[in-house]
Amino acid sequence: MKVIQPRPFTFREGSRAVLLLHGFTGHSADVRMLGRYLQKKGYTSHGPIYHGHGLSPEELIESSPDLWWKDVLEAYHYLQYLGYHEIAVAGLSIGGALGLRLAHLEDVKAIIPMCTPMFFDNKTQLTAGFKVFATEYKQLEQKDEKTIKNEVGHLIEKSYDIFQQVGKFITNTSEEIHKIDIPSFVVQAHDDHIINPESATYIYENIGSDNKDIKWYEDAGHAITLGKKRDQLHIDIYEFLESLDWVD
């Protein structure tokens, strides 16, 4: 059975733009509902898909954070090409780390890291998450249980390099955030079992901006943009964006 692949999105509405970045093993659906909400509130949003994501687990482990960074940079430049001069960035998980790097290196209006790792102390959780993703993907391909077990086991063995690269990217990003001095809204779920939630405290305390806030969400998991607290998250992000000094 052929799995239908997700697509990037661009929801145009108004002169203010927000770049929305998904997480590891995820794709544009991670942030699509947030994009639609912001569109209704008068904001343009663009959600790219990184190399290897939205595809098979075999293709995912052949990609790298360097390629994902190029995808994010291209997405940022795409919004500029469309005529948007002020661009805020919101990113989930590794998307938050990619967004923080963008905020360090480019002229970004504001940054919203959501459940974003700053310590590479979660390889076990990442591996478990990747195993779930790989298993579910192969179930969608309607493969039998024995085949799935064998193929997923092989994938886990081959995933070492990409996790090492992810770890290096996270560490490098964490060492740069003190250079970021734009408005920042740090989002963290209390029941996040994928990353160390103290990453949020680290970002809030070390980011170089004086204009910063942090919010912890009770009864929310790592994929906070898809969970039961997403409606409140949408409102909070909108209110943060509205507090910025936009040049409309």
Catalytic, 161? Answer: no
Supply the DSSP string of 44-56, one letter for each residue: EEEE---TTTTS-
From the list 51, 192, 199, 234, the catalytic residue is 192
Q: Could you please report the per-residue DSSP string of 186-236?
A: EEEETT--SS-THHHHHHHHHSS-SSEEEEEETT--S-TTTSTTHHHHHHH
CA distances from 232 to 28, 70, 78, 187, 238 (A): 20, 31, 29, 12, 10
How far apart CA 22 and CA 225 sit, in angstroms, is 10
Is 51 among the catalytic positions? no
Q: Which is nearest to 117 in space by CA: 54, 182, 167, 69?
A: 167
Catalytic residue among 28, 93, 174, 184: 93
The verdict on whether 222 is a catalytic residue reads yes
- The stretches of 41-176 forming alpha helices (DSSP H) are 57-60, 65-81, 94-105, 123-140, 145-158, 160-174
27, 51, 53, 222: the active-site residue:
222
Q: Are 173 and 97 in contact (CB under 8 A)?
A: yes
Which residues does the annotation mark as catalytic?
A: 93, 192, 222
